[in-house]
Chains A and B, each alone.
Chain A
């Protein structure tokens, strides 16, 4: 091979994991639609053979199919947005939009917990590759979910301090075995932080994870 593409494997790995989570969720949607429509067929055949079927039950199942189709549409939209995040190497972007997107996406992560969002008013502009910011946030969110019970959640805020954007996660577990097995930041998150010149501060005692990166002034295209 005359040329070698120097893309760190971990970068691709994050993209792959995100797609795995989203398509897993989409597969669940398809399975639900498939079984619900199958049940409608079964009930239709049951009625044709003289059995009684409550119309309200049929209406509920039809409504369920509609709801799942909407859920599937939202997932397809997210997969599409994720795919487009690699369109440009560096652009001026609104960090608030990326943070909101990743918080939404995180509901598909394994062992996901709820994320309470608080994003400051106005556009928080940064010059960065959208995908690299997503990669950074993915690592941070995954780490913040570690060790939490299913009914627990984290708070995620975005604010501006001078020329710095501060992404702050709180409500993290005080300590977790997963941190010892896989210390934070992992290689993919480290690569993303280096590319963005971002600093990461995980404080398990305080239950917080703080990310700081350079803000720019100017309009987002």
Chain B
């Protein structure tokens, strides 16, 4: 199995940079961005297998960003995360992606969901 390339997008820079480093220590190739514009720029240079998007961001929210990213990288899969977990958000996110996580989430839970969304097992079968 080749290394999974993951794009993390959240306007909380300290949070998203720490999370990217933790995923990198677990063998992923994670990059991070703090805005939709920065995410789009990175996605135009790198084909990401998976994007993990914060639902609420100042200018371009996660749901809209997913649609924009989907235009330039149609094969990218998505996970949403948010600081809340309201019923409205759950409905929107469930319709847009197969995985919706409330942060902070245990890193093992996130990793398990990454493999699940990618249809892989941690051993790479």
Say yes or no: B104 contacts A31, CB within 8 Å: yes
**A: number of interface residues (CB 8 Å):** 22
Roughly how many angstroms separate A20 CA and B83 CA in the complex, as a whole number? 10
Q: Is A183 an interface residue (CB 8 A)?
A: no
Say yes or no: A35 contacts B15, CB within 8 Å: yes
Residue of A30, A32, A36 ringed by the most chain B CB atoms within 10 A: A32
Give A5-49 interface residues, CB cut-off 8 Å to B. Answer: 20, 24, 27-28, 30-32, 34-36, 38-39, 42-43, 46
Roughly how many angstroms separate A35 CA and B84 CA in the complex, as a whole number? 17
Chain A contact residues: helix, strand, loop or mixed: helix
Q: Is B91 an interface residue (CB 8 A)?
A: no
What is the size category of the interface that chain B forms with chain A?
10 to 19
Residues of B within 8 A of A64 (CB): 14, 18
Q: Is B22 an interface residue (CB 8 A)?
A: yes
Residues of A within 8 A of B18 (CB): 32, 35-36, 38-39, 61, 64
Give the 3 A-B residue pairs with the shortest CB-CB distance, closest first.
Answer: A27-B83, A34-B104, A35-B18
Binding site for B on A (CB under 8 A): 20, 24, 27-28, 30-32, 34-36, 38-39, 42-43, 46, 61, 64, 68, 110-112, 150
